[in-house]
Amino acid sequence: MPISRLGLVVHEGRPEAVSGAQAVREWCARRDIGCVDIDVWQGQGSRRSGREEMRAAGSPDLIVTLGGDGTFLRGARIAAKKSIQVLGVDLGKVGFLTETPVTEVERALDAVHAGRSECEERMTLTMRASKPLEMPSDMEQILCYGRGPALPPPPPRSGSDDSWGVALDVTALNDIVVEKLARDRQVSVGVYIAGRLLASYSADGLIVATPTGSTAYSFAAGGPVLSPRMRAVVFTPVAPHMTFNRTVIANADEPIALRVLPHSGRAAVSVDGQPRGVLEPGDWIGVIAAPEPLRLVRLSPADFYGRLRDRMRLTDAPATAADGESAPLFRPSGPVPEDVRHLRLPPPPLS
């Protein structure tokens, strides 16, 4: 994929991200490739939406993020608007989304520019609601404490049919969360999956996540880890006051709706950790698989389970030393048998 214009999303508070970004700018300058910084800030006290930032950046061919998973998510919500590929540069911290080491960013850009990279698609979520989301002025400072101003409320998508709820311009790579606002009062929510009531929950929060987001907030709340290659919607309650406190995994074509019950207090809605609005009793949101995936740049087949092993420190388990052999079943010396040829096998080792 020849690059003609590149967008940069940089965590300016991390020196290694700043120096990596300078290497990217110099790489672009040597090849006469346009390079623009994507900041998502629009002056003091306001922020741009993903579409506004995309227009300001001039619709680049590739977005490069340098920072942690939070920085990557900033770039992802912009890239998904126009199906632009994202290259996440890893700075060596805990995270699952960035993979290219900062020391190899120029080699990665060479590979993308020469068409030697791969594209991995990740499922994303979008949302409908009973009404457009709003952020009351008395709530913004509380919800965004320590982060600066909130993103603007997501606008309705053009041409949406309000009889099905208002289609909102939302893209979530990890999760959409409904959670309580008052510390001493849980949120009460009716949860519907595929059009049927599952249960009414009183809980600290309710998470609807993608397989990618299964290792984020949902995992912290006790949810399972899913392969990011799956297409599924993960529902996980946070500290529910009921016997059934398990995660439910729905198919990607099964919508999940959350209605704030009349006796509940107000609830906050966040998208990938960013507060986007407040729900009153009687309001509802519907979370559905988005038709557009996020497109990630990969230089080699992704090693999700190796990353899971490293990030969760599974190498520290007492039984780790008991099995030092290579993985059974995968890539023995003989040819691939007929009954396993349909599987996604790792590439053969380099000779």
Contact 209, 216 (CB under 8 A): yes
- Residue indicated by tokens 């300001």: 56
Task: Name the nearest CA neighbour of 157 among 149, 165, 166, 148.
Answer: 166
Is 69 in the active site? yes
List the beta bridge partners of residue 91.
Answer: none
Alpha-carbon gap, residue 67 to 217, rounded angstroms: 19
123 HSE (CA, 13 A, CB side)? 24
Q: Which residue has the tokens 């690059």?
A: 3
27 and 35 in contact (C-beta within 8 Å)? no
CA 220/CA 270 separation, integer angstroms: 16
What Å distances lie between residue 127 and 156, 167, 175, 300, 337, CA to CA?
A: 10, 6, 11, 33, 44
Catalytic, out of 32, 39, 69, 175: 69
Q: Which of 75, 65, 59, 83 is nearest to 4 (CA)?
A: 59
For the annotated catalytic residues, the residue numbers are 69
